[in-house]
Homo-oligomer: A and B are copies of this chain.
Amino acid sequence: MPEHGRRKICAVVASRANYARIKTVLQAVREHPELELQVVAGASLVLERFGNAVDVMELDGFTPDATIRFIIEGETPATMAKSTGLGLLELPTVFELLKPDVVITVADRFETIATAIAAAYMNIPVAHTQGGEVSGSIDESVRHAVTKLAHVHFPATELAARRVIAMGEDPETVFNVGCPSIDLVARADLGLRADVLAQFGGTGSPIDPEQPFVLVMQHPVTTEYGQGLEQIEETLEAVASIGLQALVFWPNVDAGSDQVAKGIRRFRELGRAHGFHFFRNLPPEVFVRLMAHTACMVGNSSAALREGAFLGTPAVTIGTRQRNRERATNVVDAGHDRAEIAAAIRAQIAHGAYPSAHLFGDGSAGSKVAEILAEFEPRIQKTLHLELGVEASGSARR
């Protein structure tokens, strides 16, 4: 850390979801007198096919200090690994140029681990958000691996913080600040007028957000690669059977997203998407408004569990992608079966909104992170903090 001047805090923002989960940190860092913000835009954040979410970020005043493109198109398991590799070829160049004092990496994606590895090998302290959560997909493994590479941790819940510490991180480096995404929700104007979507384009049937609508966001599950097309079909058929308007988001860039996208396109080409509107990206605040008003959120996005808990959004979470993730009462599970999904959606619509739950924080995460980054003195050489009790010892097998 520099003894003079402001600390340079470099956030690598690599997807629309990343941005929603780190935006208030960027704001708080930018406003902090002892910090200097650097933003690196990369991966799907800067791609047309994923809605070019960087435009939204720039409208918020965050002009990237560097833009890097490291998505190798194809969305197979191999290209996901290779895109991680290409990120690792690009990020060190950026870090050599920007010379950050701390690098922030968000959540559990391949961009996240590429960022963590690049910074860690370059002796730049790594700050990690959303550590200690549990889920399905490869995200589960990657999230915890990033924890082991990070020097300071900003888990989003008390339970997640305890997990990070239990995995051997120094408790002095673990700060339960809540999730920055909740800051957005807490501050957002949740009003929803009929014209709110007009400026954002998209394709398909027009949507009147003042009438009941379903919100669909379903990503591939990498550990179930090859099943994505079938999985999205079940979901779309279930949604179609409900008869409400539907807002459908294209999937993010993981192994299998081509298959999910193909399922959506095929559904549309078969003329089954009556009353469906398709978006690639929306500003996070607009998305939050939709979550606040949707009759039911459907799919496997963690937003249903995270922002949804705060908003009380009725949600149906499908499959294994969010398995084991901490949640409030607003979520019910369903398998990849159209009848089961449809029944769950109907039940949630009948139930209506849930009470707000604050397990992912109270809306002050961004400023807490900035405050800690201004004061914390990271040690580059990590040390494992485990106190091994007797019972742990007994369970090692031969």
A residues lining the B interface (CB < 8 Å): 46-49, 68-74, 76-82, 84-93, 95-97, 110, 113-114, 117-118, 120-123, 134, 136-138, 140-142, 144-149, 155, 158-159, 161-163, 165-168, 171-172, 174-177, 201, 203, 222-223, 225, 255, 258, 261-262, 265, 268-269, 320, 324, 368, 380-384, 386, 388, 392-393, 395-398
Instruction: Say how many copies of this protein the assembly contains.
Output: 4
Contact check: which of B46, B90, B166, B388 meets A163 at CB < 8 Å? B388
Q: List 20 extra interface pairs beyond A81-B117, A171-B397, A368-B398, CB under 8 A.
A: A47-B73, A69-B76, A71-B72, A72-B72, A77-B121, A77-B123, A81-B118, A120-B141, A121-B222, A121-B255, A134-B383, A141-B382, A144-B384, A148-B167, A162-B388, A166-B166, A166-B388, A174-B395, A175-B397, A223-B380
Q: Given A134-B384, A144-B384, A148-B141, A81–B72 Cβ distance below 8 Å?
A: no
Contact check: which of B77, B95, B392 meets A165 at CB < 8 Å? B392
Q: Given A72-B70, A81-B92, A86-B89, A223–B397 Cβ distance below 8 Å?
A: no
Measured between C-beta atoms, what is the minimum distance from A390 to chain B in Å? 10
Cα A146 to Cα B138 in complex, Å, equals: 13
Contact check: which of B71, B74, B88 meets A81 at CB < 8 Å? B88
Measured between C-beta atoms, what is the minimum distance from A362 to chain B in Å? 11
Chain B contacts for A110, CB-based, 8 A: 121
Do B81 and A174 touch across chains, with their CB atoms under 8 A apart?
Answer: no
Measured between C-beta atoms, what is the minimum distance from A363 to chain B in Å? 14
Question: Quick one: closest B residue to A255, CB to CB?
Answer: B121
Chain B contacts for A141, CB-based, 8 A: 120, 148-149, 382
Q: Most chain-B CB neighbours within 10 Å: which of A49, A96, A122, A320?
A: A122
Q: Given A97-B97, A176-B397, A176-B398, A382–B140 Cβ distance below 8 Å?
A: yes
Contact check: which of B72, B140, B203, B223 meets A384 at CB < 8 Å? B140
Cα A394 to Cα B137 in complex, Å, equals: 30
Do A174 and B397 touch across chains, with their CB atoms under 8 A apart?
Answer: yes
Cα A114 to Cα B81 in complex, Å, equals: 9
Chain B contacts for A118, CB-based, 8 A: 81
Contact check: which of B76, B77, B167 meets A167 at CB < 8 Å? B167
Measured between C-beta atoms, what is the minimum distance from A282 to chain B in Å? 15
Do B384 and A163 touch across chains, with their CB atoms under 8 A apart?
Answer: yes
Measured between C-beta atoms, what is the minimum distance from A88 to chain B in Å? 3
Question: Quick one: closest B residue to A168, CB to CB?
Answer: B167
Chain B contacts for A268, CB-based, 8 A: 203
Closest 10 CB pairs of A and B: A85-B88, A161-B396, A78-B92, A144-B148, A69-B74, A171-B395, A145-B148, A145-B145, A81-B121, A77-B122
Cα A262 to Cα B381 in complex, Å, equals: 25
Do A171 and B396 touch across chains, with their CB atoms under 8 A apart?
Answer: yes
27 pairs from A and B in contact (CB 8 Å cutoff): A47-B73, A48-B258, A48-B262, A49-B73, A69-B74, A69-B76, A69-B82, A71-B72, A77-B123, A78-B95, A79-B92, A80-B121, A97-B97, A110-B121, A121-B138, A123-B223, A134-B383, A158-B396, A159-B388, A161-B396, A163-B168, A165-B395, A166-B166, A174-B396, A175-B397, A175-B398, A324-B383
